[in-house]
A and B are shown apart, each in its own frame.
Chain A
Amino acid sequence: MTDYWLSKLFYDLLTPAMTARWREDRGAVLDDYPLSPAMRRAVLEDDIAAMAPRVNAYLLRFYCGICGMKDDEFIARLRAMKPEAAATHG
């Protein structure tokens, strides 16, 4: 099921100003988004397996790029997920 606020966070981070703010203080940015405690923790811990089922796969990729994750690492983490953790958003 889609997590609107997680998706909104990733979407908002596509703007340069938000990207800069994110890189400066993730916690402060997260305070503006009413994520569940579990999802907030998943974001702070870069837990892709927890985030992937809740957000569009393209947004997840953009987000990981913003966080500086190279494609090789991103792909490795995706491939390490259990099948049921994969996004189903098309």
Chain B
Amino acid sequence: MAELVGAFAASHAPLIARDWERLSPGAKRTIAGAFDEMGRRLAALAPDVLVMLSPDHWVNFFLDNLPSFCVGVGPEHDGPPEPFVARVFPHRTLPGHAAFARHLVDTAFARGFDPAISYRARLDHGFCIPLWRMGIEPLPAIVPIFVNELEAPMPGVARCFDWGRLIAAAVESYPEDLRVAIVGSGGLSHSIGEPTMGDIDEPFDHACIALFTRAGEAEIAATLEDWLPRTGNGGHEVRSWVIAHAAMGGKGFALIDYVPVPEVYVGCGFAEWKGAA
């Protein structure tokens, strides 16, 4: 039987890769330290499969075909198309896990979900910056789930809770031995291409952390639905955190670090959901 061994979430600011050598020592130390700790904890869980949740930043999808959710079901995915990520992240391809991914999709359809699928997805900085900075080598098999967190209309927060539970159910019902971990990539607050670009909404970030620490599903959903339209557009990526949170039964949230880093325009958050084991 497969087992959900843990979940994590992390920011993926592209400037972490693009400007890494130019970041101040303090910013580098903070970001590197948090990702190192995440990588250490993830490696200790020895996952066979990493289910990764991230938006697609106009790499695989465009306005003529824009799924709310898309699961990468291929045996292999392509590495980052962005030159500034490819420069630091050595993998041109990443292993997939076709059997588990297909089981996840079959479970989804059996439960009233209709995700798109991709037999060969390109994994942009949203996926590859956390993998690069965590330094997990060799890479476990990656099952990417693209969540539309970039262009309205986006899936509701309540639906993201449903997706978290769906992932957990798919793991639980997978018949083979498999250690599965989740990484939700994105957030916390940031604003890109808007008049507030560069602003970090620390009250929003602290509210998210407090919600995952102590609140129930209804309060998290209501608070985020109210707040997301009023914070920077990057805040929508907290949906990746919500899905990870729900997959872990809404329990076990433990903040690894939170630091607003103006140099990368992002309130950088790093977290783990500790499993029952």
- A-to-B contact residues, CB < 8 Å: 2, 4, 7-8, 11, 14, 52, 56-62, 74-75, 78-79, 81, 83, 86-90
Contacts and interface: CB of A to CB of B under 8 A. Distances in A.
B25 interface: no
A89 to B, nearest CB: 6
A57 B194 contact: yes
Given A8-B62, A57-B233, A90-B233, A79 B195 contact: yes
Given A2-B63, A59-B58, A83 B152 contact: no
A78 B63 contact: no
B195 A56 contact: no
A89 B150 CA distance: 8
Contact of B193 (A2, A4, A78): A78
Nearest to A3: B63
A60 B193 CA distance: 6
The binding surface of chain B is classed by DSSP as loop
Interface in B55-69: 57-58, 62-63
A2 B151 CA distance: 10
B218 interface: no
A90 B154 contact: yes
Contacts of A58: 57-58, 150, 192-193, 233
A86 B193 CA distance: 9
Interface in B227-249: 233, 236
Contacts, number: 59
What class of interface size applies to chain B in its complex with A? Answer: 10 to 19
A61 B233 CA distance: 13
A52 B233 CA distance: 14
Nearest to B228: A90
B251 to A, nearest CB: 29
Given A52-B193, A61-B193, A81-B195, A90 B62 contact: no
A70 B216 CA distance: 43
A4 B63 contact: yes
B198 interface: yes
Given A89-B152, A90-B152, A61 B192 contact: yes
**Which of the listed residues B57, B149, B194 has the most CB atoms from chain A within 10 Å of its own CB?**
B194
B197 A78 contact: yes
B194 to A, nearest CB: 5
Given A57-B194, A58-B57, A60-B193, A90 B63 contact: no
A90 B236 contact: yes
Nearest to B149: A90
B125 to A, nearest CB: 12
Nearest to B153: A90
Given A56-B150, A87-B193, A90-B152, 18 more contacts: A4-B63, A7-B62, A52-B193, A56-B193, A57-B192, A57-B194, A57-B233, A58-B150, A58-B192, A59-B58, A61-B193, A78-B193, A78-B197, A87-B194, A89-B152, A89-B233, A90-B150, A90-B236
A78 B194 contact: yes
A4 B236 CA distance: 22
A74 B58 contact: no
A75 B58 contact: no
A42 to B, nearest CB: 15
